[in-house]
Amino acid sequence: MIARRDLAVRVAARTDLSPTCFRIALATPEPLTATPGQFGMVACGDGFDPLLRRAFSIAGVARRAGITSVELMVKEVGRGSALLRRACVGTELRLLGPLGNGFTLSPGDGGPLALVAGGIGLPPLLFAAEVLAGQGVAFDLYLGAATASELLDVERCRAATEAAGGKLVCATDDGSAGEAGVITGALERRLTAGRRYARALACGPDPMLRALARLARAHGLDAELSLEEPMGCGVGVCLGCVVELADGRMVPSCKEGPVFPAARLAARWSQ
Ligand SMILES: Cc1cc2nc3c(=O)[nH]c(=O)nc-3n(C[C@H](O)[C@H](O)[C@H](O)COP(=O)(O)OP(=O)(O)OC[C@H]3O[C@@H](n4cnc5c(N)ncnc54)[C@H](O)[C@@H]3O)c2cc1C
Ligand code: FES
């Protein structure tokens, strides 16, 4: 278990990735390690506006010239993410993390891994792709978005996937890039054609995760879903993020998750 810390971090870089999404690198005052699937709670402004920290998946941790930076990919949807988008290089923020568990990255017997990302669900899977490529674990990466301009970081996804000898499959809902339709459709076509995977790892909007859980059940495929339940504290105190498990227990997603085996989740996740 990697110990969590509440760190004063500085914005080291910020770049746009799409009309709605951007990447932000936060330099930490001390070395930090994290595992793909873990997240941080970021105080997006100074003072009490907004009052609550916002949860963001860790998209990577880099150490260069003695400085550690934590990378996030953010979609601007409200006050906190808008403040982050406007944050200048050098701005001081607070980051509590790393929090939560992570994906199972070990290779399996049934074939390579399938990494499935929908829209701004990419960050934990890009982190996983780069770690897996470094470990020589085979995987294919399925990257979906509503439209071509919202397919994030395609070249970096391609580089990591090809370094592991895998294939990057893109799909857009409107057919403007890659295959037309939802990304789970692209995975389903390959499963139906006989492609086998040891495990699927996924993050994205709830309908995508539910479709993936159904697909996994139909094809006897293990799947791990990274849920993005709205979070208040990130550390198991407020119970704002509880999810129901198949055994009826309600558990805080920030502590027992955010990554859950699909088979452990209540039936609503596969309906
Ligand atoms: C574990 C975890 C990891 C996440 N990783 C990322 C990430 O890597 N990149 C990223 O951009 N976002 C991520 N999110 C979602 C992110 O936390 C919210 O988008 C963020 O809190 C919005 O803050 P805001 O102040 O900009 O908007 P708010 O004013 O808080 O919300 C704006 C709108 O977004 C809705 N919203 C808020 N949180 C969520 C949520 N979790 N799911 C769906 N809708 C929500 C609100 O209901 C509201 O309609 C993650 C969430 C969780 C729980
Ligand atoms: S966010 Fe507070 S208990 Fe999970």
234 near 257, Cβ under 8 Å? no
Mean pLDDT across the stretch 42-54?
A: 90
The maximal CA–CA distance of the chain, rounded, in angstroms, is 55
- Does any ligand 2 atom lie closer than 6 A to the CB of residue 241? yes
Q: How many residues does the chain have?
A: 271
Task: Quote the pLDDT of residue 47.
Answer: 79
pLDDT bracket for residue 227 (50, 70, 90): very high
Which residue blocks in the chain are alpha helix, DSSP H? 79-86, 122-135, 154-163, 183-192, 206-219, 253-256
* Ligand of minimum distance to the alpha carbon of 240: 2
pLDDT tens-place string over residues 49-77: 899 999 999 999 999 989 999 999 999 99
CA of 251 to the centre of ligand 2 (A): 10
Task: Quote the pLDDT of residue 85.
Answer: 96
Task: Quote the pLDDT of residue 2.
Answer: 63
**Nearest residue by C-alpha to atom 5 in ligand 1:** 56
pLDDT averaged over every residue in the chain: 96
CA of 268 to the centre of ligand 1 (A): 21
DSSP per residue over 38-69, as a string? BEEEEE-SSTTSSSS-EEEE--EEEEETTEEE
Task: Write down the pTM of the prediction.
Answer: 0.96
pLDDT tens-place string over residues 164-194: 999 999 999 999 999 999 999 999 999 999 9
- Does any ligand 1 atom lie closer than 6 A to the CB of residue 80? yes
- Does any ligand 1 atom lie closer than 6 A to the CB of residue 181? no
- Does any ligand 1 atom lie closer than 6 A to the CB of residue 210? no
| Whether the predicted pLDDT of 48 surpasses 90 | no
Q: Tokens 């949807």 — which residue?
A: 77
Domains in the chain: ranges and CATH: 5-98 (2.40.30.10), 113-270 (3.40.50.80)
CA of 66 to the centre of ligand 1 (A): 31
pLDDT tens-place string over residues 129-159: 999 999 999 999 999 999 999 999 999 999 9
Query: For residues 58 and 99, what is the distance between their CA atoms, to the nearest angstrom?
Result: 10
Task: Quote the pLDDT of residue 211.
Answer: 97
pLDDT tens-place string over residues 188-225: 999 999 999 999 999 999 999 999 999 999 999 999 99
- Does any ligand 1 atom lie closer than 6 A to the CB of residue 217? no
Task: Quote the pLDDT of residue 260.
Answer: 98
- Does any ligand 1 atom lie closer than 6 A to the CB of residue 77? yes
Backbone region of residue 115 per phi and psi (left: phi > 0; alpha: psi in -120 to 50; beta: other values): beta
Ligand 2 nearest atom to the CA of residue 253, by list position? 4
